[in-house]
Structure 1
Amino acid sequence: MEMSNEVLDVTVPVQCLVKDSKLVIHDRTKSELPGFFDPALGEDKMLHIVYNYHDQPHEVTIKDNEPLRLPKTSHRTNVT
């Protein structure tokens, strides 16, 4: 995957939000979360998360104001 200046790595701030193996992000702009900021004021932003749960790969992409609750079976990716 090629990284551009339009992509910010927020792995550490997201990991800090995990409690008891769960991640809950409410329906508000992610720039309000600790360790985040708004790199492009007024532009649409997405949060892409790749994670493992029970040794299974999972992946999800949400809009900036979309709530999120992990883990979720629907995020599991099919790897053969």
Structure 2
Amino acid sequence: MMANYQELVKYIVDHLVTIPDQVEITTEVNDRGIVMVLIKVASEDVGRVIGKRGATINAIRLVAKAAAVKENERVEVDIEAD
């Protein structure tokens, strides 16, 4: 059973941004079996999700990867910039 990375990432991102209504999280499994999680937020919230020197997005990736280890899966988290 695949962990719900979409819900996990959405929960974290919703609490970081100023406009949670514009948070969109999509997931798909690529041809190599890696779960790809894509974050879309309002343009003014992109910096909040990335953080200083990428610290925040890297922390989100770490949490998702920790959940994936338990499920023996591979997951990658990225943010879509407009």
TM-score (norm 1): 0.34
Q: Which has the higher strand share?
A: 1
TM-score (norm 2): 0.34
Structure number with larger C-alpha Rg: 1
Q: Which has the higher helix share?
A: 2
